């Protein structure tokens, strides 16, 4: 069946439908990762967005339950160059198209994703419509009638409604190695050294796995949990997760974080970084086309070390808005935007990228150990 991708500025791309046949709208963005389409599809940070993958062929290794980053897909639609209908992977349980159809997610293939990406880089991220039902003009009109990402609170849609302790499988899968005596297929987990509370603004499963691998016992709470309830757990530290939408629209979270700063060590990633900036009195702004993919170079200004990182965000911290007691610790080497901040005196740090990086790269995994060291050093 034919399908159309219509952008709010009138540019249209025609292709073939896969997944479900329907009409949907959202902000369109592109992801430059060569692998990890399943993790992208199930990342809650993509709530409200139509995702275009720049890698030319998608679906090669199918879908399996173990690689999901949440309980289901969060994207509005998937835009690709070519669909691999028959996956080749012993871990796959179903093809990509079958998975999307089962969850009511439309896909469009056979379009020029290179031209689309160049257009978005030039014009910026914009609203779009994917449809198997509408005419060209109707699809453009639907795109223009859809809400902007600016000002949107999608966190309440993706955050947990029930607090829980993370007890799922968190061991790292490794190949057996008789020479070292490791019979596999998993590494052993370290003992629990620290108890933390993790705010779920759209938390990914691999963040929880990485925290457990670093020796944390993790209690997950909803985004609307008041500071008093978090402190009632008497945790060793507090973690602020990734998530979707506009950080400036989440003033109810800013207020609670202000009450937590200085009470316990805090570490945040992605949306957590932006929310901390707001809690400190800073502001954020919308990037032209965002940072999404597994190949973003970031420099640690404290050490000079450069890491290739996984990112997924459309907003950034305004460096000029930060108070003097906040240091910028990391910057993006592509555009110089803020990638990390830290309080000069209090144990509060955050980064804009995803150090857990499922499916990779793993350059920044050391940050979980730094969080543990920060807790050990302060011990409130």
Question: Catalytic residue numbers?
Answer: 270, 354, 356
Distance CA(260)–CA(380), nearest Å, equals 12
Distance CA(139)–CA(241), nearest Å, equals 35
For residue 328, what are the β-bridge partners? 341
Per DSSP (E only), the strands in 201-325 are: 216-222, 237-240, 266-269, 284-300, 306-317
CA 336 to chain centre: 20
Q: Can you list the alpha helix ranges (DSSP code H) found in the chain?
A: 37-41, 96-102, 113-123, 136-145, 155-158, 205-213, 227-232, 251-260, 271-279, 366-378
Residue 143, φ and ψ in degrees, nearest 5: -60, -45
Distance CA(242)–CA(320), nearest Å, equals 23
Buried/exposed code over 35-56 (b: 16+ C-beta within 10 A; e: otherwise): ebbbbbbbbbbbbbbbbbbbbe
């Amino acid at each position: 069946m034919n399908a159309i991708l219509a952008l709010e500025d009138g540019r249209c791309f025609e292709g073939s439908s896969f997944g479900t046949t329907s009409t949907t709208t959202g902000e369109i963005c592109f992801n430059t990762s060569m692998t990890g389409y399943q993790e992208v599809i199930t990342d809650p940070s993509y709530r409200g967005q139509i995702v275009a993958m720049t890698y030319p062929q998608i679906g090669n290794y199918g879908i399996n339950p173990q690689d999901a980053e949440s309980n289901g897909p969060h994207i509005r639609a998937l835009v690709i160059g070519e669909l691999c209908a028959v996956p080749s992977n012993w871990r796959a349980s179903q093809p990509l198209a079958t998975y999307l159809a089962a969850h009511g997610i439309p896909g469009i293939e056979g379009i020029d994703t290179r031209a689309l990406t160049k257009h978005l880089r030039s014009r910026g991220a914009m609203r779009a419509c994917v449809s198997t039902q509408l005419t060209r003009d109707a699809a453009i009109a639907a795109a223009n009638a859809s809400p902007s990402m600016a000002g949107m609170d999608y966190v309440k849609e993706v955050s947990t409604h029930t607090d829980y302790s993370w007890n799922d499988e968190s061991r790292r899968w490794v190949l057996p190695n008789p020479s070292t005596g490791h019979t596999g297929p998993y590494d052993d987990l370290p003992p629990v050294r620290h108890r933390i509370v993790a705010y779920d603004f759209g938390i990914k499963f691999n963040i929880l796995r990485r925290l457990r691998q670093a020796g944390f016992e993790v209690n997950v709470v909803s985004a609307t949990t008041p500071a008093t309830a978090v402190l009632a757990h008497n945790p060793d530290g507090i973690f602020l997760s990734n998530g979707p939408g506009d950080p400036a629209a989440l003033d109810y979270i800013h207020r609670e974080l202000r009450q937590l700063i200085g009470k316990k060590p805090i570490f945040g990633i992605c949306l957590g970084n932006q929310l901390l900036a707001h809690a400190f009195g800073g502001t954020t702004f919308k990037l032209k086309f965002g940072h999404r993919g597994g190949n973003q170079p970031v420099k640690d200004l404290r050490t000079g070390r450069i890491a290739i990182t996984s990112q997924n965000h459309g907003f950034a911290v305004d460096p000029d808005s930060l108070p003097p007691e906040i240091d910028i610790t990391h910057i993006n080497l592509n555009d110089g935007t803020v990638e990390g901040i830290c309080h000069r005196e209090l144990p509060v740090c955050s980064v804009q990228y995803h150090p857990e990086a499922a499916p990779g790269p793993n350059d920044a995994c050391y940050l979980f150990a730094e969080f543990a060291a920060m807790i050990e050093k302060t011990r409130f």
